[in-house]
Amino acid sequence: MTHRFRAAIPFAALIAFPAFAIDPPATPAAVVAQAPAAAWRAIPLDELLVMTIEGDKRVVIQLAPAFSPRHVANIQALAKAHWWDGTSINRVQDNYVVQWGDSTEKKPIPPGLSPTSPADYAIPLANRRLAVTPLPYADPYASATGFVAGWPVAMDGSAAWLPHCYGFVGVGRNNSPDAGTGAELYTVIGQAPRQLDRNIAVVGRVIDGMALLSSLPRGTGEIGFYTAQEHKVPIQSVRLASELPEAERPRFQMMDVTSPSFADYLRLRANRKDDFYDQPAGGVDLCNAPVPVRAAP
């Protein structure tokens, strides 16, 4: 699948925070609740990964092929091959990650997966223009941040990458130059470990069922791996939503980051002052302004 970004202005010119002459609701949640249908975009079914874990509990992951094309293509191929069926969640490290895959590390990988490398951790900006909704606050890990096509993005003038925010999904790997195939995945369950940005492939985010992962018992082995005496959580199946029967397909929408609703939402995340908040923060970091996602009406 080919993804193209379209923009009328170059990256370097995108420095002004968008402003809209409307009277917004008082809280970010109210903005989301009152956003019109035009402020939402459907998430394609082949970009939704549905993982069913022990007890028929379902976790839905939105994939980001535009930012991690090779890894996402591998993940989609692994899902179509039903490779994760019968594997398990093997690591739960407090304030860090939940990790899943083949605990034996012996299950054969399907043929035909794309080769990957550390070059896949970011997308080059040369000869590419991104439609960026900028975040005009300093970031300790990037010279610029903003939102592109529904995703939070960090940038440095030559490349753009997805950050390690809460709920985001990355690819487990060995030491560089290994970049992982996509068979071993994890999601962030603690404070955003942004030091991992551009050191591991970020391929998506959990958009439903996150509490099922963040509430799992912590592993007591090294870096949170479950020991032989502890219960690895079985994975019953992993499927692309597009491959499920019609009645079982989850359908989600994400807010259009170029919409007036998102501009209001972002402004209030940074400058909230309502019945509860007395002192507006006057800023917001990239991971503390998650792009709203909802089940499709």
Least confident span in 10-14, 31-35, 50-54, 80-84: 10-14
Per-residue model confidence (pLDDT) at position 274:
86
- Cα 190 vs. chain centroid, distance in angstroms? 14
Among 2-6, 31-35, 45-49, 244-248, which is the least confidently predicted range? 2-6
Full residue range of the structural domain in which residue 208 is found: 11-295
Q: Which tokens go with 155?
A: 């940038």
CA distances from 61 to 170, 186, 213, 222, 263 (A): 11, 11, 12, 27, 25
Question: For residue 56, is it left (φ>0), alpha (ψ between -120 and 50) or beta?
Answer: left
Domain contains 242: yes
- The answer to the question of residue 122 being in a domain is yes
Q: What percentage of the chain exceeds 70 in pLDDT?
A: 92
Number of domains in the chain: 1
Check residue 204 and give its pLDDT: 98
Cα–Cα distance, 58 to 121 (Å, whole number): 28
Span 170-193, average pLDDT: 97
CB atoms within 10 A of CB 245: 6
Report if residue 175 sits inside a domain. Answer: yes
Query: Whole-number mean pLDDT of the chain?
Result: 92
- Under a CB-based contact definition with an 8 Å cutoff, are residues 182 and 78 in contact? yes
Q: What is the CATH number of the domain that holds 67?
A: 2.40.100.10
For 247, residues 6+ apart whose C-beta sits below 8 A from its C-beta are none
Angle at 94 between CA 90 and CA 100, to 5 degrees: 20
The residues pairing with 159 across neighbouring beta strands, listed in sequence order, are 124
Residue 2 domain flag: no
295 by DSSP, 3-state: which? strand
**Average pLDDT value for residue range 6-22:** 43
Q: Tokens standing for 219? A: 């592993």
User: What would the DSSP string read from start to end of 127-193?
Assistant: T----EEEE-S-BTTBSEEEEETTEEEEE-SSEEE----TTEEEE---STT----SSSEEEE-SS--
Residue 78 lies in a domain: yes
Residue 5 is assigned to a structural domain of this protein: no
100 lies in a domain? yes
Gap between the Cα atoms of 157 and 248, Å rounded: 42
- C-alpha to C-alpha distance for 47 and 193, rounded to whole angstroms: 24
Contact, 253 vs 41, CB < 8 A?
yes
pLDDT band of 23, cuts 50, 70, 90? low
In a domain, 168, yes or no: yes
* Backbone phi and psi for residue 9, each to the nearest 5 degrees, phi listed first: -135, 150
What's the average model confidence in pLDDT over 71-95?
98
